[in-house]
Amino acid sequence: MNIRCETLLDYPAIAEANILAFKQENEAKLVEEIRNSDCYIPELSLVAEIAGAVVGHILFSYIDLVGEETLQVLALAPLAIHPQFQRQGIGSALIAAGLEKADIRGEAIVIVLGHPQFYTRFGFEPSVRYEIESPFPVPDDVFMVKPLQSYQPKYKGKVIYPPAFGDV
């Protein structure tokens, strides 16, 4: 398996992986909308490929954290592994690769809404521990954050997702 940044040629395969993994089109549309927004970070849209075929995709993009000041933080979403390739470590490898790149870029913190049993493996913790609030009511354990090396205590407040996230 090889992990690399997405290119234009990957767009259809990325859409397909998202539609098959989530069994709906919302996440594929989310990816497209983020790409067309100023929240997009090309370096943090990664694909996993096996024998030249895209089997998984992860996207990190900018969202706002609004507290005493408004700070840019990363959202991890979506993460999609082609159904035939799930539970083979590919999702984990994409998360690890993305977190490493984000850390090297000097990003401070990553926010995710997802399965706690899965994301806690990578050091994600309930956001309430960092006084970071979800914009909608969710159980504390599914709204998680992963502080990176550039994290500082000023990163607290309420998360605001951009309009692209409206349908997911």
At 53, list the tokens.
């075929």
Q: Are 93 and 1 in contact (CB under 8 A)?
A: yes
Residue 91 as a binder of ligand COA (CB under 6 A): the answer is yes
Distance CA 99, CA 159 (A): 19
Out of 9, 42, 117, 136, point to the residue binding ligand COA (CB under 6 A): 117
**Residues 134, 159: Cα–Cα separation, whole Å:** 6
Asked whether position 86 contacts ligand COA by CB under 6 A, the answer is yes
90 in contact with ligand COA (CB under 6 A): yes
SS3 category, 93: helix
Which position's Cβ is nearest ligand COA?
Answer: 91
Measured between alpha carbons, how far is 127 from 147 in angstroms, rounded to an integer?
10
Our finding on whether 87 is near ligand COA (CB under 6 A) is yes
User: Which of the stretches 3-11, 39-47, 77-85, 153-161 binds ligand COA when contact is defined by CB under 6 A?
Assistant: 77-85
Q: Which residues contact 44 (CB under 8 A, 6 or more apart)?
A: 59, 60, 61, 74, 98, 101, 102, 105
Maximum CA extent, the chain: 48
> Nearest-5° angle of CA 46, CA 85, CA 79?
35
Give the nearest distance from C-beta 159 to ligand COA in angstroms: 16
Nearer to ligand COA, 29 or 156 (CB): 29
Stretch that binds ligand COA, among 35-43, 89-97, 125-133, 156-164 (CB under 6 A): 89-97
Q: Does residue 88 belong to the site contacting ligand COA (CB under 6 A)?
A: yes
Residues 2-41 within binding reach of ligand COA (CB under 6 A): 21-22
Residues lying near ligand COA in the complex (CB under 6 A): 21-22, 79-81, 86-92, 114-115, 117-118
